[in-house]
Structure 1
């Protein structure tokens, strides 16, 4: 009798059979995702869907507007959740149950040729450039990003050209700072999150842009590990995703490389004093 009762309880607690890999995504956030399924996270989702033998479906909502509450945790009475996984969240993000990280990237400096930075390959080389040259630069950056603090710390605050990250225009996308303004010469350089830097620098055919991954330093964190997120309490689902992250590691690495993501190691973290 006990065995039968236990089996009944286990059956009642078992998660429902999945009919699709249901992904929560931003509809206009390349290089990560869009409604045409052209982003990094779309491509990885397709790899996972194939491995699971499931079709991939998307539930789209702008990431700038309480994204998790309106996607992964959104549920009307009598209805199911619209999606079950967020393909990219920072490690340690507490609004979801976070998987183990699957890549580390860092903010990057992207610059156009002929501005006095030609040949610069590291943040140290940038900071050692003649101060008269640096003082003339117009460096685009998004507000509330570590780039602002970095410029302040190195006496370059006057070079910063701020951009608003929380733009209400649904057509706005983070790569505009590179694809439109840097390419057009409105600014000389930009400091943005690495995957955005790598992807949009590749898309600009002329001028040829250079991407310089930046190392974190005391007080300025540039590098972050990225993971995936599921709902709290869905332990088996999380373990299944982590298994895919391990078994599909070569495919994931190839996708990141294709999109120009500057993948870095722990040496890019700030050194402890």
Structure 2
């Protein structure tokens, strides 16, 4: 049976519409927010997806109207830019410093700093880095190659802590591979009395301080660490999202999402117990 020209045009129109919907579906799929994340970076990112940055990433993606796709790595988060973002396996990395030169950073989504963690009835450490020098406390749990370690050196408490610090990682050689003290270990050392205090970045340890059955306190250290005649060493940091340096459009979209989702982001930080400061940028 011969098809009329009207029927033929109707079928062609339907086919074109179907093709258009397929293309639209493809475009939507391409709009996923691909986030590089570590499986072993608790409390920020875990294989279960229950880390603080996992939660904030989902909040930001929702504010953008995008579906989130985590691109998981078995390595520590310090490798995410080099091994994931730069190789275009993902498009964003959460939790970079706002001045990280490896990436184009978004506006900060929170700011926090280094804190003292002590028992409620433990050493009286106030808000100055010099309190480490003045206190009778001798054993401090810190992470390697951080301002916390530099505070111990400036206060003259580093040498007596070397053996203890290495014991937290079973004396693994940190020169030949990336080795770091687990954040929960910093807190448990204080809670069980093996350390007098911990010096740590607040968002590293807030979850564990909050969950501790032993009453603990966090005290924010003032951002005035300038030992001797050396340059100031920052103790407070803006945290941002990193994208590739040429991805201006995505950075702008993320900035808008951060602003839109600020109440939810702030709620996630509060739930975690993270003390926050007004962002600098």
Give runs of aligned pairs for residues 180-259 of structure 1, distance below 5 A.
181-205=189-213, 207-217=214-224, 218=226, 219-259=232-272
| Matches of 1:124 and 1:238, distance apart in 2 | 36
The alignment partner of 1:220 has SS state of: coil
Q: Report whether the alignment pairs 1:94 with 2:101.
A: yes
Equivalence for 2:144: 143
Q: Deviations over 1:22-55 (max 9, x none)?
A: 1111112122111211112111121122233332
Structure 1 24/95 Cα, relative in aligned 2: closer, same or farther at 3 Å?
same
| Matches of 1:53 and 1:108, distance apart in 2 | 36
| Matches of 2:150 and 2:83, distance apart in 1 | 31
User: What is the TM-score of this pair, normalised by structure 2?
Assistant: 0.75
CA RMSD of aligned residues (A): 2.9
Q: Give the unaligned 5+ runs of structure 1.
A: 1-15, 75-80, 268-273
| Matches of 2:268 and 2:36, distance apart in 1 | 19
Structure having the larger proportion of residues in helix: 2
Check conservation: 2:115, 2:218, Cα contact below 8 A. yes
Q: More displaced, 242-251 or 19-28?
A: 19-28
Check conservation: 1:112, 1:208, Cα contact below 8 A. yes
Give runs of aligned pairs for residues 1-273 of structure 1, distance below 5 A.
18-61=30-73, 62-63=75-76, 66-74=79-87, 81-117=88-124, 120=125, 122-124=126-128, 127=131, 131=134, 134-158=135-159, 160=161, 161-163=164-166, 173-179=182-188, 181-205=189-213, 207-217=214-224, 218=226, 219-265=232-278
Q: Which has the larger radius of gyration?
A: 2
Equivalence for 1:271: none
User: What is the TM-score of this pair, normalised by structure 1?
Assistant: 0.77
The alignment partner of 2:183 has SS state of: coil
Structure 1 156/239 Cα, relative in aligned 2: closer, same or farther at 3 Å?
same
Q: Deviations over 1:182-214 (max 9, x none)?
A: 222221210011101222111211x11111111
| Matches of 2:260 and 2:279, distance apart in 1 | 22
Q: Deviations over 1:54-87 (max 9, x none)?
A: 322211222356321111112xxxxxx3311111
The alignment partner of 1:106 has SS state of: strand
The alignment partner of 2:89 has SS state of: coil
Structure 1 residue 170 displacement after superposition: 9.6
Q: Give the unaligned 5+ runs of structure 2.
A: 1-26, 227-231
- Matched pairs, number: 238
| Matches of 2:184 and 2:265, distance apart in 1 | 22
Equivalence for 2:13: none
